Amino acid sequence: MRGLLFPLSGVFLILTGCGSVPKATVTPTQATFRMPKVTDINSLNIESDYPSRATLLPNDPKTAIKNVLTMLQAAQPVSVQFPHSKKKLSGESSGYTGPATLNLHLNASEDLMITPAYFIWSAWQGGFDYHYVNGVVEYREDESVIYLRDVSLYNWLKQDRWKSQFHMPGQNH
């Protein structure tokens, strides 16, 4: 998303501009990733894409885990070459502005983090833009990152399809 926010009677307008942004290059790779089993996952949550970065819990943890693992089974490892902006990134945000993150908490005190793949591009004066790599998720285990082509999981996270399956702690679901 790209734009400037201007308050107008308590409503924020997003004024978008246009410009040329190179795309990330995605190619298949022979890399492998650890596919967790149902029994490996102790719990999961979503860190929302809201500025407050709220943590949401699954309404039905067992079903949520099975759904995520079903989507991951179709994942194919890819290599992603991100473009690099020659302009210095500038601008600020008063809250989180990135995509939702799926956290899988494994039994061995390890975490897997999955988020739509994106890059930040500075192509205009005074700000920056987030550009998503369509159909690709970032799969992070400890400090290791691999990219996966997984359209279902990407859309589930990027288009907030998870919302009906998760709730804020303390809320009835």
Residue 120: predicted pLDDT:
79
Amino acid (1-letter code) at residue 108: A
Domain span including residue 131: 4-8+27-167
Domains held by the chain: number: 1
147 lies in some domain: yes
pLDDT at 80: 94
Say what the pTM is.
0.78
Mean pLDDT, 10 residues at a time, the chain of 173 residues: 41 44 87 92 88 86 96 95 66 63 90 91 68 94 92 95 91 70
* Assigned domain for 34 exists: yes
Instruction: Please indicate, yes or no, if residue 98 is contained in any of the structural domains.
Output: yes
For residue 14, is it within any domain?
no
Q: For residue 151, what is the DSSP state? A: H
User: Is 75 a domain residue?
Assistant: yes
DSSP count for the chain of H helices, then E strands:
2, 11
Residues 6+ apart with CB under 8 A from 71: 150, 152, 153, 156
Note whether residue 22 is domain-resident: no
Determine, yes or no, domain membership for 109.
yes
The CA–CA distances, whole Å, from 14 to 3, 4, 6, 52, 98 equal: 6, 6, 7, 19, 17
Residue 173 in any domain: the answer is: no
Q: What is the pLDDT of residue 12?
A: 37
